[in-house]
Each structure stands twice: as C-alpha cells, then as structure tokens.
Amino acid sequence: MSGSAVWHPFTQHATEPVPPTIIRTEGAYVETREGKRILDAISSWWVITHGHRHPKIVEAIRHATETLDQVIFAGLSHEPAEQLAEALVDLAPAGLDWVFYSDSGSTSVEVALKMALGFHRNNGAPRSRIVVMEHSYHGDTIGTMSVGARGVFNAAYEPLLFEVDTIPFPAAGLGQEALDAFERLAHGRKVAAFIVEPLVLGAGGMLMYPGSILAELKRIAERTETLFIADEVMTGWGRTGTMFACEQAGIAPDILCTSKGLTGGSLPLAATLATDAIFRAHYSTDRARTFFHSSSYTANPIACAAALANIGVWNDEPVAERVASLSRMQAQMIARFSKDARFDNLRTIGTIAALDLRVANAGYLAEVGPKLRAFFLDRELLVRPLGNVIYLLPPYCVTSNELERLYAAIDEAADLASDIR
C-alpha cells in the first residue's frame, strides 16, 4: 500500500507498482515529480490529438472561465454549445443534423442506444435488439459493457448485462461471413440498431477491417431499417487518417458518437450526433415522447469552448498534413518488423500502428503485458500494450526521432517475451 487513497482505473493495486505522479504535461510528454519526461505514445488513453496543452486550447479554456462555468442545459443554452453544435454538424458526415451533449465516450454510446430504442418506440414499431461486432469495446457502464465483448473485464457484472446478437469480426477472408451473419440477424429479428467501431476495434486489440465491409454493413442496415450507430469515440478527430473513419467507407451513420479528441483531449466532453428522423421521432406535443436523458455536466461551457478551439486548430493549422505525415512514418517504421519472427500481424491505419508479439499465452491477460509496460516506462516511454498487442497511437506532434525511439524500444522489448514464447 502506498499511503494514497486513490483507486486507479483498470489497475490491480496488489501487483502493480505505485504510479509516478505527473506534475506537468506538454506536447508529446508527461513529466513526473522526479523530473522524468515520459513520451506519451498512447495519447493518454487516446484522447490527446495535437499534443498536450495546445496553447490555443489552453487559452480558450482560460478565456471561457472568465465569463462562464457550468450552466444547467435543460431550459437554458449558451454560446459555446450552440457554436460547437453548428461546427460539428458541418464537420460530420452528411445528415447528422442534431447534437446531444454528454461527458464521456461511454455516455455518448448510452445516449445513442437510448435514441435508437426511442426512435422505434415513438414511431409505433418498438424494437429493442442490438447487434454488435465480436471483440468490440464501447465503454464500461452497464449498457456499454452489454454491447461490448464479454470477458474477464465484465464477468462479475454479467448477470446485469442485456443480451445482444454478435456478428463475427470481419478478419481477412471472413468479411462475407460477417456480412451474412448481419444480414440473417437484421432480417430475422427486427433489430433496433447495429453499433460498431468503424475500421478499427480499439480496446479489442487494434483489430482493423476494410471500409468496403463497413459500407456493406451500412447497406444491410438501410435495407432492414436497422439504425447504424458509428462509435467514433476512438477513431474520430484524425486518428485513422480522416476526420472520421466513416468517411473512408463513404457512409453516413444514423448516429455518431464522439468524445476523446473532441476537445483535443483537454477536457471531458462527448457528443452524440443524430439524423433529423431520430430527432423528429422524439419531437411531439406529447411530453411522454421526450428524449429522457441528461447528466449534470451536459455541455459544460468550458469544455465546449475547448472543443471549439480544437476545431479552430484543425482549421488554422496544417493538422491534416501532420496526420498524413505521421501515418506515413508509422507505415514505414513498422515495416522493419515485417520479416521478424518475434512479431505477427503488423498493421496500421492512419496514425495508429499495432503488432502482435508472438507468445504462448496471447490475450489481454498475457503475462508479458505488465512486463512490457514496465520495460517501456523504465525507458521513459508510455506504451500500454493490450496483452501481447503492442500499439502506438501518439499525438500528432510526435517527431520522427521520437517514433524511432519507440520502434527501437519495441525491438528490444520483444526479447522480453523470449522465455514465454
């Protein structure tokens, strides 16, 4: 026991070391009390896009606090939320005309699921079945765990999780199988919604699949009047090479969830965007058809101001070029392992690169996971493998020298697994 009262997330306090205390963040780095500068190669759980404490976002936050703090968002509105909603509608795939705010990726998904059920019920044809993709992750609340992969993380809560139908992950060669499964379910069951992480399943192991499959899934959803929910919580804001991953499949979902990079990673905020048809299904003189959802900090003005500043950075700085350049560097640098027998399944999409370390016991609880994490931290690198899956998801300000350091460390780290291969 460290004397701290903090219970950390996804942390086994009995086996993990006392975490370093961070006293400052800047660019691609987080700095400890002891003066270590740790290169944040996972963008602090995938939230930081441009870099920590982008000056324009920091300034916008400071400025917003001079006039506003939290304001109840039922019955009142404010400029930062109004302006941000307009900007999001402009940025998002066509047809997503309504913006509902919440405060985390999980809540944005909960909102999406509730909107989907409300839509069907208010239209007089209730549907409640949700179809999900194998290995998905959508959050850690009861609802989002229900639509995510079942496993060690949620075994204890299983009795509370609702049943869903699952289609196989469309791994190479299995695309048609996934499509056929969705077709069968969507025709047979009157499905309320299909929820999916577009192009890459993050926490499930950085599993990537082609846009053509995503586009076909969308077509099946359309044909069967199944609402299509794109969970872009991780993939949004340039991570996969385009602003939203759906763009690469040329699709516009019925509902889109965004959080993490929405504020550039500076403050917690989320938005669930929906079509006019979904809004209309809740628009009525009958108050029972209201969309009954809120949380105290909905549309926090300071977070909205940060998100507006983030969009300003996208507009005023060459962010798309930075994303393209980082994407190229990732693809080039990971290629050094293409013939390396210690690794398997090298893959990149946009700014994300991942590879599997060959070990006897793969999976999230692979014993090599904590060893790798400690190895990287010793070298002042923040890399947090998903079991034996090592991935780099850095902020867009990372330099080629910094990436070189990371790949050199991965090369060295692979030998750690030699005793368990």
Scanning 196-204, 306-314, 359-367, 412-420 for contacts with ligand PLP by CB under 6 A, the matching segment is 196-204
For strands 270-275 and 255-258, give the pairing.
antiparallel
Q: Which residue in 138, 218, 239, 342 binds ligand PLP (CB under 6 A)?
A: 138
Q: 80 vs 139, which CB is nearer to ligand PLP?
A: 139
Minimal distance in Å, beta carbon 34 to ligand PLP?
28
Which residue, judged by CB position, is nearest to ligand PLP in the bound state?
A: 105
- Diameter of the chain by CA atoms? 68
CB count within 10 Å of CB 215 equals 14
Site for ligand PLP contains 234 (CB under 6 A): yes
Q: Is residue 106 a contact residue for ligand PLP (CB under 6 A)? A: yes
CA–CA dist 145, 375 (Å, integer): 31
Closest distance between ligand PLP and the C-beta of residue 163, in Å?
A: 20
203 lines the binding site for ligand PLP (CB under 6 A): yes
Q: Provide, rounded to whole angstroms, the least separation between the CB of residue 202 and ligand PLP.
A: 4
> In the complex, what is the shortest distance from the CB of residue 186 to ligand PLP, in angstroms, rounded to a whole number?
22
Residue 254 binds ligand PLP (CB under 6 A): no
| Residue 266 contacts ligand PLP per CB under 6 A | no
| Residue 233 binds ligand PLP (CB under 6 A) | yes
Minimum Å distance from CB 240 to ligand PLP? 12
Q: Does residue 197 bind ligand PLP (CB under 6 A)?
A: yes
Number of neighbouring beta carbons within 10 Å of residue 326: 25
**Which of 110, 216, 231, 254 touches ligand PLP by CB under 6 A?**
231
Return the closest-CA partner of residue 265 out of 125, 131, 413, 104: 104
Q: Considering the rule CB under 6 A, would residue 109 count as an interface residue with ligand PLP?
A: yes
Q: C-beta of 105: minimal distance to ligand PLP in Å?
A: 2
Return residues touching ligand PLP (CB under 6 A). Answer: 104-106, 109, 137-139, 197, 202-203, 231, 233-234, 259
